Amino acid sequence: MASGPITPDRLTEYRQKGYTLLRRMFNSQEIDLLRSSAKQDKALDDHAFGRDDGRGKIVRLSLWNHPGNTIYGMFARCESIVNSAERILDGEVYHYHSKMIMKDAKTGGAWAWHQDYGYWYQNGVLSPDLCSASIAVDPATPAIYGPSLIVSANFRRSFGVSRSCSPTGRSSFLPGLPIAAMAST
């Protein structure tokens, strides 16, 4: 499973920008298995809840704190993800939570940009030593899902209030908020 941990070049990019994009961290068969599992998983669907996107549409998601022994836990605990996170954070890591965003193409609501550290701090995470890995289960193209916006910032110096991203992809938040490594197919 997976192509290996983050390369030195990507790690340098992460340290400079606050994010990096790792393409093909998983092969197409692994992503196909994850996608088909998620689409057939009644427990995942039953556990999902809707969240208003602030524009009158609903985005569904399922959230869990323990990786478990499901396919989702296997992806969260795979060596490439864990070793990459350990290189990024310079030490041992643990699983904080996973989520599956179930957005319908072209008709589903937007996933408003937000900054989670303020919430995590209230839950006992006392420093911003966190890393996120996003895995595109379906093709994530602007034509299907709209624009994705990643902010380049020094995430260890500045934290701010959650803000939204407009449908046009223009940000309505200030730079300086943490964005972590992203994995994509």
In a domain, 124, yes or no: yes
| Residue % of the chain over a pLDDT of 90 | 26
Parallel, antiparallel, or unpaired: how do β-strands 49-52 and 21-23 relate?
unpaired
- Least-confidence region, from 23-27, 54-58, 68-72, 75-79: 54-58
Q: Evaluate whether residue 157 is within a structural domain.
A: yes
Q: Is residue 1 part of a domain?
A: no
Domain that holds residue 121: 8-184
Pick the residue with more confidence: 123 or 165?
Answer: 123
Reported confidence tier of residue 36, pLDDT bands at 50, 70, 90: very high
3-state secondary structure the chain: CCCCCCCHHHHHHHHHHCCCEEECCCCHHHHHHHHHHHHHCHHHHHHCEEEECCCCCEEEEEEECCCCCCHHHHHHHCHHHHHHHHHHHCCCCCCCCEEEEECCCCCCCCCCCCCCHHHHHHCCCCCCCCCCCCECCCCCCHHHHCCCCCCCCCCCCCCCCCCCECCCCCECCCCCCCCCCEEEC
Query: Average pLDDT, stretch 4-11?
Result: 87
Over residues 67-71, the mean pLDDT reads: 92
Cross-strand pairs, 23: 184
What pLDDT does residue 42 have?
93
pLDDT at 151: 66
pLDDT tens readout for residues 144-180: 666 566 666 655 544 443 333 333 333 333 333 333 3
* Residue 3 lies inside a defined structural domain of this protein: no
Number of structural domains in the chain: 1
- pLDDT at position 51 is 84
Determine, yes or no, domain membership for 155: yes
Would 94 be classed as within a structural domain?
A: yes
125 or 109, which is more confident: 125
- Residue 2 placed within a domain: no
Q: Contact, 57 vs 110, CB < 8 A?
A: yes
**b/e per residue 22-45 (b: at least 16 CB within 10 A):** beebbeeebbebbeeebeebeebe
Give the chain's mean pLDDT: 75
35 or 1, higher pLDDT: 35
CA distance 16 to 7: 14
Higher pLDDT, 55 or 183: 55
Instruction: Check whether 125 has a pLDDT greater than 90.
Output: no
- How large is the average pLDDT for residues 122-127? 82
12 belongs to a structural domain: yes
Can you give the pLDDT at residue 149? Answer: 64
